[in-house]
Structure 1
């Protein structure tokens, strides 16, 4: 009988602690910030970004900042207009020359806005 109570107590403790942990933890959330977009744009301009990395960051809506969402949408539009998916595997840039130029302008604008926010 003592063994039964010991096993029952241990099981109750394990199940109870699992329930408490599940009730107190929150779902992890990923917030895209401006420095994430800057890093991605820098990688894209240097031809060091993969297509999956681009789509992971640019394909995820930004709900907490309207300005960043507009930058994300603009970058997505650049990919639709000037993207060269088939040449990325050959080590060539993700965007054509016009797209690179527009992405550089978008990156500079975002960088300038960040500098204004931090000063």
Structure 2
């Protein structure tokens, strides 16, 4: 009987400890920042980004910043208009030449906005 109680108490302590850890730990969150998009756009323009990485960032909505979500939606539409599934696996760029020009313009616009936000404001 004492062995049963010992095993029961040990199992109960382990169960409660695991439950407490799960209840107290926060949910991991991924937060896309402007620099993440710039890096992704640079790699897409250099043809070093994979479709899986591109889709993981571009298909995930950005809820904390409406402007960044607009940039993300525009980049997604560029791939819909100027890209084809499997281009990267065939050794081609993610976008055709017109799409790369549009992506470069979008990248430059985002970089300019980041520079403006980081500038100290003069009185």
TM-score bracket for the superposition, by shorter chain length: over 0.9
TM-score (norm 1): 0.92
CA distance in 2, matches of 1:74, 1:111: 15
Stretches of structure 2 lacking an aligned partner (at least 5 in a row) = none
C-alpha separation between the residues in 1 aligned to 2:6 and 2:49?
Answer: 56
What's the TM-score, normalizing by structure 2? Answer: 0.90
Counting matched residue pairs gives: 119
Distance in 1 (CA, whole Å) between partners of 2:14 and 2:86 is 52
Deviations 1:54-90 (A, max 9, x none): 1111001111100000000100111111113343223
Unaligned runs of 5+ in 1: none
* Structure ranking higher in helix proportion: 1
Alignment RMSD, CA only?
1.2
1:34-62 CA-to-partner distances (Å, cap 9, x unmatched) read: 11111110110000011111111100111
- Aligned partners of 2:88 and 2:7: how far apart in 1? 59
